Structure 1
């Protein structure tokens, strides 16, 4: 039996998670966040970081207990029930399949704004073809490409933050130390909480690295550490960047909310820096798409290898590259839907699955480590009941805060999953196929 090759270290896994999150997206969405929070973007990101750390901790606990690929799909199956695990995996599949499409669509929109004479379809197809080719060749090449692109992205972010602080330093009416980007008495708490819900979308990616377990050296230690590091580093980047940019541009009024960061970039660095900023954004989207497609293809491979999806198509590795080529190609084909969709519509596809999976991971920790123990230790109440319960409540709040369109699409997808589960299990009379993520 062919298996995935272990080649990823802690730094490699952290880099993949950060690339998946696309740290520079904090600038691309700054105008939307500022408008939603009435100028307290940093505060919204700080609240989001607290909520995501609770769930990241639960992911780390489950990853240490079950060092296998499959992410929420495996954890819920093992901790709660096979049928529940299947439905969570189905929900996550919605997120994983459509996230690369959304990422590449964002990149195409940025490029189309810079080069309006060229059709946006050209940029979308270009993203898909290049990223698919890199992922087919193998994870080592993707890892190398990610290091280079993340370095460029981080340099642009550092330059943006440095210029923002320099801009504030040179203005006697502004101060480098202010609570305004974090909290303002005149801003209703509801707006700050709503902004935190939006900000949580930027954290999607810390969980995706669990799909690389079978390609990671010493995954039982590396994956939990990587999950927490990705969440902390990503959240730190978001909070510091939002704080600096909000200082440079207090309030939430822009000529164009969608292009707010470009407007700020011009104010703090001039026309040349606007071009540098746009290059950084595009590189960030490319790196994120590379990681998103790699993670999605590994989930499809894991499901196909054990018969949950057709194994002849999804459960095979390329003899030449030792990568799940069919799954990678499917991600590319699904992304072609971006040719017929806008950003708002496409984003609505991915939120439901992520927050449902986050909620279930926290419940899995409670079920496996607390409810199944005959005599839980006193400290287990905090570690395995209180903290994951708080995480589950935070994630459920995020789930119900989605707009009606996202909830409708998510429930329809979940309904299709129930029908497929009924087919696989003969009307729920038996368990779905057992997925074995251990190496032969």
Structure 2
């Protein structure tokens, strides 16, 4: 059984990025930072703020964002060290392979598959809600049958399916083209967020902030566990490591700076949102920012915010799907998933087959599952990944002190330990049904590993592996 904990040498991982099935290095510091902002700012502000305020935090949503932001800040420092040390596609999966061994790498890779698949579905559902809202504002009312999942009284959420189809096509065409589109839509959504702040701040009524914590500290932490979904973008940034021109310098900057900027915007927007509209009114809307402007009579602003939200959420979809395909690519290249998904198209230099698989599966998820279940499942997957990455930083420092690190997590091992504690608390605060679903997925992953992945691993033919 020892060979299931064999680690993959960092030198071997980096060597694989230079073969015929390697990805094109096309991303500089600007593109990387925009990827970070593109992934982080979107569904958290435009969709989940309403869900979390109405059901969990109330006006104390501000505190929920601060708690989640702190948890992510400590985890982000751990990710930054790994990204600068192991600049290879796969994010936490690859880091775990280098530090903890194949079995833990498989578990976290399996976990990331769940995280990204359901995240893409949740974001697409949020995109659909804003698209339907915008069409309604100009007199085009789509029937519920094609805008809601069967569990919400519809047949299929068709807009959510169609946007994933478009993103899939874009990702197949190449990382440079995808990055250019992302830069444009990130700029649009930042302008729209600033516009919302300017339009709504004058309509804040302090009375709407009372009671500030209607659900107590338990509600604050439960809300933090839900809005944690809003922060998972920097995880997606690290999946681009293999396609960054200077990953040792640019990845840590992109991860940390994008997180700081986005946290500040989350806090400001959530404060204004709950100050403009009583938190309970957000209970039945998946488009809270546009809803808030409509409630105070700024209908043109509501329509404009919907346009910006659609652009913003599109960029989140783009980066999330990008991240998922790169994780599939890395796991397939290692033989833990069928090798066919590790192939790179000779012309586009993208993992086309992985991209098509992700597109098809997420279209089904987005079309037929409600957003609440999706967000909660994504959060527990992300939190588990953060815990393993934080532990992996400490382990790799012990096992490979000789490896050059472009960035070192300050305060280690205390900082990684704080990250583990924060994330464990947030997992504990998630609904029990979410934990049960996650355990079922975890057990299924163990079955798949021993039935397929262990026997097909490329490490079986690699004499350089290390078993510890």
How does the TM-score come out when normalised to structure 1? Answer: 0.87
Determine whether 1:9 maps to 2:25. Answer: no
Q: Tell me if 1:165 matches 2:192.
A: no
Shift in alpha-carbon separation, 1:265–1:332, aligned structure 2, 3 A = same
Match of 1:190? 218
| Aligned equivalent of 1:57 | 77
Once the 2 structures are TM-superposed, how far is the Cα of residue 83 of structure 1 from its aligned partner?
1.4
- Equivalent residue for 2:63, pick from 43, 47, 63: 43
Partners of 2:428 and 2:252 in 1: CA distance: 28
* Distance 1:253-1:411 versus aligned 2 partners, 3 A rule: closer
**Which residue of structure 1 aligns with residue 183 of structure 2?**
147
Q: 2:172 aligns with which of 136, 139, 145?
A: 136
Q: Deviations over 1:75-101 (max 9, x none)?
A: 112112221112111111111233222
Q: CA deviation at 1:33?
A: 2.5
2:280 to 234, 253, 257: 253
1:76 to 90, 96, 110: 96
Moved more, 344-353 or 149-158: 344-353
Shift in alpha-carbon separation, 1:413–1:149, aligned structure 2, 3 A: same
| 1:66 to 2:86 alignment | yes
Going from structure 1 to structure 2, the CA distance change for 1:433 and 1:260 (only over 3 Å counts) comes to: farther
CA–CA distance in 1 between the matches of 2:261 and 2:178? 21
The alignment covers a number of residue pairs equal to: 420
Query: CA-to-partner distance for each residue in 1:188-239, whole Å, 9 max, x for gaps?
Result: 2222222222221110111111111111011011111111112111111101
- Is the 8 Å Cα contact of residues 23 and 238 (structure 1) preserved in structure 2? no
> SS at the partner of 2:311?
helix
1:228 aligns with 2:253: no
Change (3 A) 1:268 1:25: farther
How many angstroms apart in 1 are the aligned matches of 2:431 and 2:241?
33
- The reply on whether 1:18 has 2:45 as its aligned counterpart is no
Match of 2:337 among 292, 295, 309: 309
In structure 1, stretches of 5+ residues that fail to align are 375-379
Partners in 2 of 1:122 and 1:360 — Cα distance?
36
Match of 2:151 in 1: none
Is residue 93 of structure 1 aligned with residue 126 of structure 2? no
In 2: Cα distance, 1:184 partner to 1:344 partner: 24
User: Unpaired segments of 5 or more residues in structure 2?
Assistant: 1-19, 148-156, 403-407
User: Which string of whole-angstrom CA distances, capped at 9 and with x for unpartnered residues, describes residues 259-281 of structure 1?
Assistant: 54333212446111111111122
The equivalent of 1:377 in structure 2 is none
Equivalent position of 2:50 in the other structure: 31
Q: How far apart are the structure 1 equivalents of 2:455 and 2:168?
A: 37
Question: Quick check: 52-61 or 343-352, which moved more?
Answer: 343-352
Going from structure 1 to structure 2, the CA distance change for 1:72 and 1:381 (only over 3 Å counts) comes to: closer
Q: Secondary structure at the match of 1:217?
A: coil
**How many Å apart are 1:388 and its aligned residue?**
0.6
Q: 1:410 aligns with which of 438, 441, 445?
A: 438
Q: Alpha carbons of 1:428 and 1:124: their partners in 2 closer, same or farther (altered >3 Å)?
A: closer
Task: Provide the TM-score with structure 2 as the length reference.
Answer: 0.82
**396-405 or 131-140: which moved more?**
396-405
Aligned position for 2:142 = 117
1:294-348 deviation line (CA, Å, top 9, x unaligned):
111111111112212111x211111221111111111111022222222223334
Residue 412 (structure 2) aligned to one of 381, 384, 388: 384
SS at match of 2:281: coil
